[in-house]
Structure 1
């Protein structure tokens, strides 16, 4: 059996020169590292640096804005003008709120003899409609058999 690999020295491929040609492309690792912004991450550790204005440097815990948080409990303070203090439910002035459906139904008036589409769809999918058609089909079947 013949082997596909030739033993002659003339056909030996110089792998080392091919690798060097590929690697020799303009790659300068040190210049790429120096282009990183020192404010975004620490080059030595790779850990993003924290903004010292919003984080406590010693603990690493975010500092809370004392204007919107209760310092003792850490619970956000609610604006008492828009929230009921006892229940925590937002208060709305019902006179000022106007929804799209209010506008549509106030501008559109249907004649009295027109049944709204939603009512008709509800009837056709209801139990009474299915029961009615089943009863009619049974009566027709009885008439045909009689």
Structure 2
């Protein structure tokens, strides 16, 4: 838990950890990176391997928008977090097998800040774009407002 917290602290102080600020790449991506690093450590990896796992995991979520249908964290957030858990496991496995993140984790975190800052507001937890604005997404929002 300490490793995951330390990774989250570094990300939060150098980029974003909320979808409203940096999209799902920040919210889900940060969690994926934290889990990847912690899993690597829990499975006997070195600190260097844990850092590589973080970089591998974060690179896989760059650019992921935050588009909750109806403003709720059910669609697509639950599924994204489920796939994120698989990504964290894969990143830890890869790092433990000797795969290195070619781009260092601290540089990946800086790119996450850059991408999140450039992301249109409608793709940052506003339900104003992405899946929230599909015909089905708008129908669900309308049904929620009617209740």
Look at both structures and tell me which one has the larger radius of gyration over its CA atoms: 1
Taking structure 2 as the reference length, what is the TM-score of the superposition?
A: 0.16
Higher helix residue share: 2
Taking structure 1 as the reference length, what is the TM-score of the superposition?
A: 0.16
